[in-house]
Amino acid sequence: MLQEIINNGFRWMDATRPNRDQMSELKQKFRFHELNLEDSLSKIQIPKIDRYDDHMFIILLFPTIGQERIPKTSQLAVFIGSDYLVTIHQGDLNPMVEMFEQCSQSEKSKQELMGRSAGYLFHSIIDVLSDNLLDYIRKIVGNIDDIEDLVFDEKAAAAREISYIRRQITSLRRIAIPLRRTITELTAKDIQRFSEEDLAPYFDDVKDHIDKAIEILEESKETVEIYKDTDFMHATDKSNKILAILTLIFTLSMPISIISSIYGMNVDVPIVRELDSTQFLGTYITFILIVAGSATVAFGMLLYFHRIKWL
């Protein structure tokens, strides 16, 4: 869908989920290079800046929410000239979509955003999208604070939540780092070509926001790695305790198994025959001696384990 807003001779054209017919229409109106139009049709392209005599072509990547609340990459292609700005995207960059709707519905918003220059409008777009990036990151930081309680709760498992947040951070880093590099490549000369006022402070502010976003992402990455290691240590310690208990039970049951297997055989064994013939301690003397002998050996093993500090 191709839409247009005009304000005092300045034109903002927005192409949402464009097709080749709309690209041909843009080519006829502005004589854009066909390779740039082809790149605009691609959903994911490498961020870049192409400079021409009368305009610039810029591709930037910003985050949107995908499946399972995992950030995905969305491309914004921009043609910027002295009296026009053309934005091409897939319609999932909600802050910019809302900005375009405000300009089309409100005369005040149109004057504020489009009444100055193409350079200022371009700044306003990347500024609101950069703020949206920071909002995503703040949500992740909040989730990290919640995970801290899970990590140090021995009864809770935090591995899935940690893996989920690590995936979110990785996705945002793939977007934020190339974004900073592309914005940094926009020199003061590039910006001032399309504006009479000094826009350097505005773009410096955007760079600061992106730098802050990357700094928070790096800190979050380190924090999550610490939580991952801590959770792994707790899980390993818990598994070791379980294995120790099971090993102890198995070890203490060995005397019972050995003695009972010997005296349970259908052959004559020492003591049993004599005891059965005399019955001097009753009918169950063999059973009593087997249990007593097994318990004595097991108790001796417990004392030995305690002495060597295995328990």
pLDDT tens sequence across 114-131: 888 888 889 899 999 998
Tell me, what's the pLDDT at 76?
92
Same domain, 192 and 278: no
For residue 30, is it within any domain? yes
Higher pLDDT, 270 or 79: 79
Same domain, 60 and 156: yes
Q: What is the mean pLDDT of residues 158-174?
A: 85
For residue 165, is it within any domain? yes
Phi/psi at 75 (5° precision): -95, 140
Residue pointed to by tokens 């070791």: 240
Same domain, 202 and 299: no
- CA distances to 2, 84, 101, 220 from 54, rounded to whole Å, are 22, 11, 28, 42
Average pLDDT of the residues of the chain: 80
Confidence band of 283 (pLDDT split at 50, 70, 90):
low
For residue 136, is it within any domain? yes
Of 140-154, 249-263, 270-284, least confident by mean pLDDT is 270-284
Q: What is the mean pLDDT of residues 173-190?
A: 83
Same domain, 149 and 275: no
Q: What is the mean pLDDT of residues 86-97?
A: 88
Helices of type H across 52-152 = 94-105, 107-114, 118-151
Same domain, 45 and 186: yes
- CA distances to 7, 100, 181, 244 from 3, rounded to whole Å, are 14, 9, 30, 70
Residue 199 near residue 192 (C-beta atoms within 8 A):
yes
**Cβ atoms within 10 A of the Cβ of 134, count?**
15
CA dihedral 142, 143, 144, 149 (to 10 degrees): 110
Residue 210 near residue 176 (C-beta atoms within 8 A):
yes
pLDDT tens sequence across 241-265: 777 777 777 777 777 676 666 656 5
Long-range contacts at 104-113 (CB < 8 A, ≥ 24 apart): 104/3, 104/5, 110/5, 110/7, 111/7
**What range defines the domain where residue 286 resides?**
264-307
Same domain, 72 and 120: yes
Phi/psi at 81 (5° precision): -130, -170
For residue 248, is it within any domain? no
Same domain, 97 and 153: yes
Angle at 145 between CA 222 and CA 134, to 5 degrees: 70
The structure's pTM equals 0.74
For the chain, how many structural domains are there in total?
2
Last residue of a domain, one of 236, 254, 273: 236
In 3D space, the residue among 5, 24, 30, 136 whose CA is nearest the CA of residue 74 turns out to be 136
Same domain, 269 and 220: no
- Residue 9, sorted as left (phi over 0), alpha (psi -120 to 50) or beta, turns out to be left
DSSP 61: E
For residue 39, is it within any domain? yes
For residue 243, is it within any domain? no
pLDDT tens sequence across 43-58: 777 888 888 888 899 9
Strand 84-89 to 55-65 pairing: unpaired
Same domain, 157 and 220: yes
Same domain, 133 and 56: yes
For residue 216, is it within any domain? yes
For residue 10, give the CATH number of its domain: 3.30.460.20
Same domain, 216 and 269: no
Strand 71-81 to 10-16 pairing: unpaired
Q: How far is CA 258 from the centre of its chain?
A: 55
Tell me, what's the pLDDT at 57?
92
